[in-house]
Structure 1
Amino acid sequence: MVSIDEVARRAGVSTATVSRALSGRGNVSAPTRVRVETAAAQLGYVVSASASSLASGRMRNIGVLVPYIDRWFFSTVLSGIATALMRRGYDITLYNLTADRAERRDLFQTFLRRQRVDGIVAISIELDATETELLRQLKLPVIAIGGPNPQLTTLTVDDVAVARLATEHLLTLGHREIAHIGANPEFDIDFHVPTQRRLGFEHALADAGIAAEAALYEPADFTIEGGFRAAKQLLGKPGVSPSAIFAASDEMAIGALLAARELGYRVPDDLSVVGIDGHDLGEFFNLTTVDQFPLGQGERAAEALLRELEPSACDPLQEPTSLPYELIVRGSTARFHQTSPAATARSS
């Protein structure tokens, strides 16, 4: 195995200079850094993680808390975090934080106290007062996505405003009977995202002078399959003929599109569908959505954490607060037509 001494001799510098050049920390001139990196590459030298941590007091490892591993949104945010951290030479330890109280207690009281991480990112997890205090006691930088949590640095999306924007788009197109596909109570845990999006939907209706109708609501589980089943239920109800569907996630919206087409609805001529999230499949399905840029959320969270860990190596930026979102209009929404099934049912 090649040693740091061999790299130093090849580059004609001290071992301390090699350490500073390869770690990215410390003042090393550009020509010297290039000479050290060239020597290391020629010799096949790889920095020892254990030696680096001993020298710097850092593990170069970030803990990421996530409630779901197999859901598109969370895996996409995680991908953004991983990409940004890997560019700076950091590894990731992933902690799947479920709703189980015993598992959560073990995580906060045992796993995170082993001092194997330099900082923590929490993805859309609502931490209670005790959990937040346990994190603060670690004396590590923590960045939370979702919230707000007044005790932690947070990056937040205004889910009420996001849903309002999607609903106002349908209202602007002339739709008045708009169905809502949301979530069952068991999926409305951390930060109550489904509830916030339902409130945004209802606020937009109220502002337009439209009363919410119970018959136009159908629960689902934020999956394509759940959206498919919910849309079939809605479109098959006697006396219910929505001209548009607001789905609280893109996956449910895609399921609604598939159900509509199976039932013979032409999208968007007979039925408009809008979702939320900015799913990778949205463009394929020509879905109108409010994109909340989950990959960018992960990158911004990692950058915010790195600013706390290595302030001298980061560009000075404003403290992160609200996250961006944008209405992306595609072919799943169109103006309300008087010849649509909803208009025909209303006039009969």
Structure 2
Amino acid sequence: MSPQTRERILAIASEMGYVASSAASGLATGRTRTVGVLAPYVSRWFFSRAIEGVDIALQENQYNLMLINLGGYGGNRERLFEHTMLRKQIDALVVLCLGLQPSELEHLHLTEIPLVAVGGPVKGFHQVCIDDYQAAQLATKHLIELGHRRIAQVLGDDKDEVDFAVPKLRDRAFEETLLAAGLRFEPGWELNGDFTVAGGVRAAAQLFDAPGEKPTAVFCASDEMALGVIMEAQRRGIRVPQELSVVGIDNHEFAEAAGLTTVAQNPVEQGRLAADMLIKELDGAVGTVRSVAAPFELLVRSSTAPPSR
């Protein structure tokens, strides 16, 4: 076909509003131009923001997004992995941090498509995430350096959950940082907040209702839980930070308005970077997908202060 004929065809197609069929293109190339996002939940802040970042990169490169929400499948996860993952519906996959059973990990490896984890490590794959141990250590050290000696912790999830590394790393960092500073770790001051505001409220209520000595500070493994702790403290007339300092991790969109001290990360950029790497890999740049340590920083606001004497 001559260049002149090609230009005439393209001009006519443009006038008629013709759009190439993605299905036909997929049949010709074996590609769907679709990237999947495997998420444990879509309602929680980190996951929704990471999905937004993935979608930004996909739209910029004319790719589609297929959202695979494990939270919506209940006990039917096995069927999801067997039938959705292995049916060639997607060209690549972003896995948002979650705990996977060994059989589910095996299914992911069997897909033989480019894959990258975001927000936490997934065994055997590259990842884009912060160093969760160092982030929790930074938050805990901030409280210790302010002079706090009685520090409680609100965990995100059960630290014994199979293959869910993030809560375990943040919990271990908290405990080891306390012990390194010569402080006591109180098992009764370790509570599960489920990575939600409501969970933070419940954890704070348990902490405040427990008999005996009270902590002067609380480290929360996410901002959502930290916001819940602050709400429950305010409801009970406990002044933050005069009577209780609170620190979180994330830099949630409400953190600045609430004056929450936090270790900030950017899940939108993490999701965008992961998707960019996958697209380049699909376009032939072999070896583009790699592990990347995402940046984080301590933002000191008004929810932390030295303990009152």
For residue 205 of structure 1, the aligned residue among 146, 171, 178 is 178
Letter of the 1:143 counterpart: V
In structure 1, how many angstroms separate the alpha carbons of the residues matched to 2:152 and 2:159?
21
Percent identity reads 41
Aligned-partner Cα distance in 2 for 1:272–1:191:
28
User: Which residue identity lines up with residue 113 of structure 1 in the other structure?
Assistant: L
User: 2:255 corresponds to which residue?
Assistant: 282
Corresponding residue for residue 328 of structure 1: 299
Q: TM-score, normalised by structure 1?
A: 0.79
Q: Distance in 2 between matches of 1:150 and 1:183?
A: 20
Q: Shift of residue 291 of structure 1?
A: 1.5
Matched, 1:116 2:74: no
Match status 1:195 vs 2:168? yes
Q: Please list, as runs of the form range in 1=range in 2, the aligned pairs for 1:181-330 lying within 5 A after superposition.
A: 181-183=154-156, 185=158, 188-311=161-284, 319-330=290-301
SS at match of 2:292: coil
Give the direction of change, closer, same or farther, for the CA distance of 1:133–1:218 in structure 2 (3 Å limit): closer
Cα RMSD over matched residues?
3.0
Which residues in structure 2 correspond to 1:107-186 (within 5 Å)? Answer: 107-149=80-122, 151-183=124-156, 185=158
Q: For the structure 1 residues 184 and 124, does the alpha-carbon distance in structure 2 shift closer, same or farther, using more than 3 Å as the test?
A: closer
Question: Aligned in 2, Cα 1:317/1:55: closer, same or farther, shift over 3 Å?
Answer: closer
Matched, 1:49 2:31: no
Mapped to 1, the partners of 2:156 and 2:124 lie a distance apart of 29
1:99 to partner: Cα distance: 11
| Letter of the 1:90 counterpart | Y
Q: Quick one: distance in 1 between partners of 2:193 and 2:123?
A: 31
Ranked by relative contact order (alpha carbons within 8 Å, sequence separation 6 or more), the top structure is 2
**C-alpha distance in 2, partners of 1:145/1:259?**
31
In 1, the alpha carbon distance for the partners of 2:156 and 2:263 equals 18
Tell me if structure 2 keeps the 8 A contact 1:304–1:320: no
Amino acid at match of 2:132: D
Q: Tell me the equivalent position of 1:104.
A: 77
| Cα gap change, 1:139 to 1:13, in 2 (>3 Å) | farther
In 2, the alpha carbon distance for the partners of 1:188 and 1:130 equals 15
Distance 1:44 1:187 in 2: 56
Write the deviation string for residues 62-90 of structure 1: whole angstroms up to 9, x where unpaired. 11111112222211111111111111111
Counterpart position of 2:66? 93
Separation (CA, whole Å) in 1 of partners of 2:28 and 2:187: 63
Q: Aligned partners of 1:110 and 1:16: how far apart in 2?
A: 44
CA 1:264–1:295 in structure 2 vs 1: closer, same or farther (change >3 Å)?
same
Runs of 5+ unmatched residues, structure 2? none
Deviation digits for residues 105-139 of structure 1 (CA, Å, limit 9, x no counterpart)? 32232222221211111111344554344333333
For residue 74 of structure 1, the aligned residue among 47, 55, 60 is 47
Query: 2:30 is matched by which residue type in structure 1?
Result: G
1:21-64 deviation line (CA, Å, top 9, x unaligned): xxxxxxxxxxxxxxx6xx76654332322233234332111111
What TM-score does the superposition give when structure 2 sets the normalisation length? 0.88
Output one character per residue of 1:266-307: Cα deviation in whole Å (capped at 9) or x when no partner: 222222110112211111111111122111111111112112
CA contact (8 A) 1:124 1:190 kept: no
1:21 maps to none
Once the two structures are superposed, residues 144-184 of structure 1 have per-residue CA deviations (whole angstroms, 9 ceiling, x without a partner) of 22554453222243222211111001111111111111245
Deviates more, 1:203-212 or 1:236-245: 236-245
Residue 100 of structure 1, CA deviation: 7.6
Cα distance in structure 1, aligned partners of 2:224 and 2:51: 18
Structure 1 contact 181–246 (Cα < 8 Å) conserved: yes
Q: Which amino acid aligns with 1:117?
A: I
CA contact (8 A) 1:166 1:289 kept: yes
Whichever residue aligns with residue 125 of structure 2, its letter is L
Name the CA distance, whole Å, in 2 between partners of 1:114 and 1:272. 50
Tell me the secondary structure at the aligned position of residue 164 of structure 2: helix
Cα separation, 2, equivalents of 1:310 and 1:291: 33
Are the aligned partners of 1:156 and 1:321 in contact in 2 as well (CA < 8 Å)? yes
How many residues align structurally?
Answer: 309
**Structure 1 unaligned blocks of 5 or more:** 1-7, 19-35, 339-348
